[in-house]
Structure 1
Amino acid sequence: MDLTIFSSFLPQDDPDAALSFYRDTLGFEVRQDVGYDGKRWITVGPPGQPGTSIVLHPPGVDPGITDDERRTILDMMAKGTYGGILLATPDLDGAFERLQSADAEIVQEPTEQPYGIRDCAVRDPAGNLIRIQERR
């Protein structure tokens, strides 16, 4: 099999805040911004990597989801325990400085992990955990 990761999905509960964070803070380009039935799906991705995207979607819109399940998702998002993604950069310190200057919610400053990776962690406006590893 020849498989690639094309898109990942992260929930967002404030499309404008999500757009600002992923476009203006992380520097991703907007690939699509689609409204439907009063909700917004925003697809973003790193410049120069058209085959990799993150779809920022309204929480709990999957077919067949119950109101209880939707509330659980929203509760988990509020705690920052629902979604997450791992990114990588050759300049972790520069990326971290940019995140700090944008007042991103810092979870962990750049740290040498015991398993041999140097990384940091932040939360996006919806509470999703974003870890950024340093590419060596």
Structure 2
Amino acid sequence: MRTQKRCLGYVALVVDDYDRAIEYYTDLLGFHLVEDTPQPGKRWVVVTPDPESDCNLLLAKASNERQGSFIGDQCGGRVFLFLQTDNFWRDYHSMKEKGVHFCEEPRQEEYGTVVVFEDIYGNRWDLYQNA
């Protein structure tokens, strides 16, 4: 019998600047800064949409040209991350008022309400609420 819980703990997102990324994800998307710890030559920066969540976003500053080439295109132009909400319209309007770039108008799908937006780097996200 399995008793250990498994989940994704961190998803790394390559960024160009720690402070710029922290500001965007906390101020515009409403994420919480979980940790910002200096390490030799880098920082361990973690944000999360919900402090009770087990899944966090690790903001990883590109340390070379190759890594830098993936900033904003970590998934080849496809939607990369999916931000689930319990109140789509609250979050949509809040993000829109703060200047988040939406690629389309919200739409109703079989599975729920969804809209695609791009983060500060151009990574595509879905904001969605299950039906």
Map residues 39-58 of structure 1 onto 2, 5 A cutoff.
39-58=42-61
Change (3 A) 1:100 1:15: same
Number of the residue aligned with 2:70: 73
Conserved? CA contact 1:41–1:55, under 8 Å: yes
Q: Give the letter aligned to residue 84 of structure 1.
A: F
Higher helix share: 1
Q: d(CA) in 2 for partners of 1:55 and 1:11? A: 8
Number of the residue aligned with 2:125: 130
Q: d(CA) in 2 for partners of 1:55 and 1:89? A: 20
- CA shift digits 1:59-112 (9 cap, x unpaired): 3x4xxxx85x346424846xx838821111121111111111111111122111
Aligned residue among 31, 34, 46 for 1:31: 34
Conserved? CA contact 2:33–2:46, under 8 Å: yes
Q: CA deviation at 1:36?
A: 4.1
Q: Give unpaired runs (5+ residues) of structure 2.
A: none
Q: Give the letter aligned to residue 118 of structure 1.
A: T
Q: d(CA) in 2 for partners of 1:34 and 1:25? A: 22
Q: CA deviation at 1:44?
A: 0.6
RMSD of aligned alpha carbons: 2.9
Q: d(CA) in 2 for partners of 1:48 and 1:70? A: 28
Q: State the TM-score, normalizing by the size of structure 2.
A: 0.77
Q: d(CA) in 2 for partners of 1:91 and 1:50? A: 17
Structure 1 position 120 matched with structure 2 position 115: yes
- The count of aligned residue pairs is 128
- CA shift digits 1:6-63 (9 cap, x unpaired): 111111113223212211222221111134455444201133415221101113x4xx
Structure 1 position 96 matched with structure 2 position 92: yes
